[in-house]
Structure 1
């Protein structure tokens, strides 16, 4: 049994191609990491590394006026929830929930709350925001990933302005089956029953199956899916800065899973973010190659590994405060990869003489952001934004 288990552990998702690809990846990687001995001037390194990452993300459309509007307003307990809409690019709009705490007397700290993936495309921002008449499939989802609590609302009750934007391919930016070729949607249409929960599940399955086609087209167009997501999330900062209620010097970001990846890149790429929280998305490329490249197509950026590992991206805004929350029972990440990412970030913050501004916590739970994790995140935001 031991021999069989050991042999199985040496197998890979890509079989006999693993040694070839692992060897290639190991030849030259993370050349722009701050740990590279040639990088002595922090700001020069930051400019070079951010510039290279922006080049690799390959998406930088011309800015357009936000032309923002408030679609609806709902008074909640201790805050007001606005559904807002604004332009992300000349061809793209998104919707977001904007939560404004009651009784603000001066500009307040703000948090951009970035939703997860979870194979649930029909909704985006609704996964961590209170909404009325939630379908059962959404309630179950929130229970499983967030212990039933919509953490954005809890942040608003604690005095934070919160913005939760939909990412491309989710919620208000989800794929429209009516604009997809009929031969690719006929099976999906056959599954529709008129029952909202059943139809949401059918849509999620359809959108999941379409990810490969979307990503092939994204690459063929000369850009990257993650580049589109990062650009959309950076426009969320523009929107916050258009609001007089927001203190521009106190903006943070937080997210779970894909939201954690989004938080990594938003924190790393945009200096307007003063602190970041990454939940259940911390690893290194090295520890993904054998068996853990099973994530969404949205996360892969061609050739990035040559210059910056995933923790290196988070370090681009160091020594600003960064909190990483890892789940010990997470099936999406190799535990060794979580530890390798932690050690790399700790070494970078050490090199910057700012070790107190980086923390990595572990929780003995599956892939999720439990209430205990949320409370630790809230305490971090209180410390660094209030």
Structure 2
């Protein structure tokens, strides 16, 4: 005997489909992960992961893709550096300079050069966020050109570095030191903490990002440091604090 099948109307079929859809994960976990995070995790193949072999080959294959993912573009404008002023600090010279950090931005920077015969090892100093924007590069190196900034810089050094300036400590040990301002700090001070969200959103709408722009400028600053006649391009370090 054949068992009879109950036919479902079109509305009933739609209801069953809707109920099935509602059974799928929709919310988030207590750890603020989507309930379907495991399915997303299983989709991750990590095509750029290093899995052994010659690291130089891996670097050559992956670096262009990493740059394309992070940096808004590849800057090519000449640096065209100029000296603004200079002071003698005993074992090194402290210089305030200007150079083209990107194709659009020309910035002031602080450069410390040891006395003696180079080339010297070098350090690029990447300052923190710290919710303080009146100083940037001056968080690493005490300014001699602005009393108000010097007061702020001394407060910062006392708070985080036991009253010392890390850039100066490195210069006294024979390092060429370069410090710049990220967009929104120091000579490039913006409109405060809350305004950074608007700045970041506006940069997205301009085909860039705040993080990507900072990364672009940091790589350019490193390239500028490597080209200086007092610098050994094979011995360059980057020193960062928090955001840096």
* TM norm structure 1: 0.51
**1:121 pairs with 2:133:** yes
**1:51 pairs with 2:64:** yes
What does residue range 72-83 of structure 1 map to in structure 2 within 5 Å? Answer: 72-83=85-96
What is the Cα deviation at residue 31 of structure 1?
A: 4.3
Distance 1:166 1:48 in 2: 32
Corresponding residue pairs, total:
212
Larger radius of gyration: 2
Distance 1:172 1:48 in 2: 38
**1:65 pairs with 2:50:** no
User: Match of 2:97?
Assistant: 84
Distance 2:64 2:239 in 1: 23
What is the Cα deviation at residue 160 of structure 1?
A: 0.9
2:135·2:152 contact (CA, 8 Å) conserved in 1?
A: no
What does residue range 157-172 of structure 1 map to in structure 2 within 5 Å? Answer: 157-172=172-187
User: Which residue of 208, 226, 242 maps to 1:241?
Assistant: 226
User: Which residue of 227, 238, 243 maps to 1:253?
Assistant: 238
What is the Cα deviation at residue 17 of structure 1?
A: 8.1
User: Match of 1:228?
Assistant: 213
What is the Cα deviation at residue 209 of structure 1?
A: 0.8
User: Match of 1:140?
Assistant: 155
Distance 1:86 1:227 in 2: 20
Change over 3 Å in CA distance of 1:139–1:152 after alignment to 2: same
User: How big is the alpha-carbon RMSD for the aligned residues of Structure 1 and Structure 2?
Assistant: 2.4
Q: Where in structure 2 are there 5+ consecutive unaligned residues? A: 1-27
1:66·1:88 contact (CA, 8 Å) conserved in 2?
A: yes
User: Which residue of 159, 171, 185 maps to 1:156?
Assistant: 171
User: Match of 1:111?
Assistant: 123
**1:33 pairs with 2:49:** yes
Distance 2:45 2:216 in 1: 25
What is the Cα deviation at residue 98 of structure 1?
A: 0.6
Q: Where in structure 1 are there 5+ consecutive unaligned residues? A: 1-13, 176-205, 260-386
Change over 3 Å in CA distance of 1:50–1:81 after alignment to 2: same
User: Match of 1:302?
Assistant: none
2:87·2:94 contact (CA, 8 Å) conserved in 1?
A: yes
SS in 1 for 2:93: strand
SS in 2 for 1:90: coil
Q: Which has the higher helix share?
A: 1
Distance 1:22 1:123 in 2: 44
Change over 3 Å in CA distance of 1:70–1:16 after alignment to 2: same
What is the Cα deviation at residue 64 of structure 1?
A: 0.5
Distance 1:74 1:86 in 2: 19
SS in 1 for 2:34: helix
